[in-house]
Amino acid sequence: MKKDKIKIVTIGGGSSYTPELIEGFIKRKDELPIKEIWLVDIEEGREKLEIVGKLAKRMVENAGLDWKVHLTLDRREALKDADFVSTQLRVGLLDARVKDERIPLSHGILGQETNGAGGMFKAFRTIPVILDIVEDIKELCPEAWLINFTNPAGMVTEAVLNYGAFEKVVGLCNVPIGHIIGESEMLGRNSEELFFQFGGLNHFHWHRVYDKEGNELTNHIMDLMFEKSKKIVENIDNIPFMEEQIRDLGMLPCAYHMYYYLQDDMLEKAIKDYEKNGTRAEVVKGIEASLFELYKNPDLKEKPEELSRRGGAHYSDAACEVISSIYNDKRNIMAVNTRNRGALPDLPYDCAIEVSSVITAKGPMPISFGRLNSAARGYIQMMKAMEELTIEAAVTGNYGKALQAFTLNPLVPGGTIAKELLDEMLIAHKDYLPQFKIVIDKL
């Protein structure tokens, strides 16, 4: 039965994204009868939690709402009887991301937050923590929905489904939203007049676009895309795709496909940027520091415009929309990470995919995307196998599985280089990899 008042918990509440989350709830005040919002963090995040929590309280008060905003380091206290739990955490904080980017780049290999070696190590650190949170949810608020936008969102979602044995999870990414906004603008159309059909994996999906009469606009967008090179994602350099390759695919790639289809160009650009400016993580640390200085201002009572520079625009708004869609059974269509259930028949039925889905009170109902052509099918099946191995290694600490994942990942050279890079990163991240302790001790 639908509750009259709801409790929402955000784990990683001290995140710089939290003001956008609060803004999203305020925008939906007539759809969501919120009673209390709990912002949870860990001891290392206490200061940021206090700063962003005070801003959240000012935002709610400024909106004339009576919601109670609680700040706590006690996750279990917060989770008791929650209706929705969102996770936006970063295990090891930004310093871990610096290592994820710097160590591969020092070997002349792409270092990126969610792709390649860096993405796999983010999964190794994050998945055990998320599964621990899931155990608390199953005990303290088993009817709650988990809305995850912690990266790598697809692998985290699959781990929760298949290792956490918890079905009420939705994974989110802001990249599809970026494409919807950017491509609607390119067409000079309102996005609500269009249907964007996404299918693939998190940060590795394709899409097609249709108008309300059912006419496909995919090729027209390709025409515009190759006429005007437009940046879709804030933290990815815009290098034009090879037109012949994209035309042959017959689908629009996502921004992260640049790392795969334009691997040499992206690596060269990343190495030059690294030598000149340091890693993207170091740039983000600077942006975050200035954001938190803004957040301290007692006169600030709304989300500052500068937050859009952080690189995760629309994440939090998407989380709020999913929560409202589930609570109100809105049945609107969003691209989310959920069980495949045959929507992509070229991938396992029970795996997690990123796919356009109807969001109902029972959660996402994926829309069939259909079979992929050879070029897309070959790549995505290899990427899914890499994800499965990464998740298993994250859960078990099995070194062989981790090495297999490294070897399969297209952004990591195979053989001795893969092993040396894996070993160096295991040692660098040892404080956050208890499942690999025996292996690391031997190294």
CA count, 13 A, side-chain hemisphere, 63: 21
Which of 17, 163, 210, 256 is flagged as catalytic?
A: 256
CB of 34 closer than 8 Å to CB of 9: no
Beta carbons of 162 and 168 less than 8 angstroms apart: no
Decide if 100 contacts 113 (C-beta within 8 A): yes
Angle at 412 between CA 408 and CA 418, to 5 degrees: 85
DSSP structure string for 199-264: EEETTEEEEEEEETTS-B-HHHHHHHHHHS----STTS---PPPHHHHHHHTSEEPGGGHHHHTHH
On whether the CB atoms of residues 39 and 18 are closer than 8 A, the answer is: yes
Residue 171 is encoded by which pair of tokens? Answer: 């994974």
Mark whether 295 is an active-site residue.
no
Cα separations (Å) of 299 from 62, 68, 294, 295, 304? 11, 20, 10, 9, 12
Instruction: DSSP for 377-442, please give it.
Output: HHHHHHHHHHHHHHHHHHHH--HHHHHHHHHH-TTS--THHHHHHHHHHHHHTGGG-GGGHHHHHH
**Pairing verdict, β 352-360 and 169-171:** unpaired
Amino acid at 178: G
Chain-centroid distance, C-alpha 48:
21
What are the catalytic residues? 256
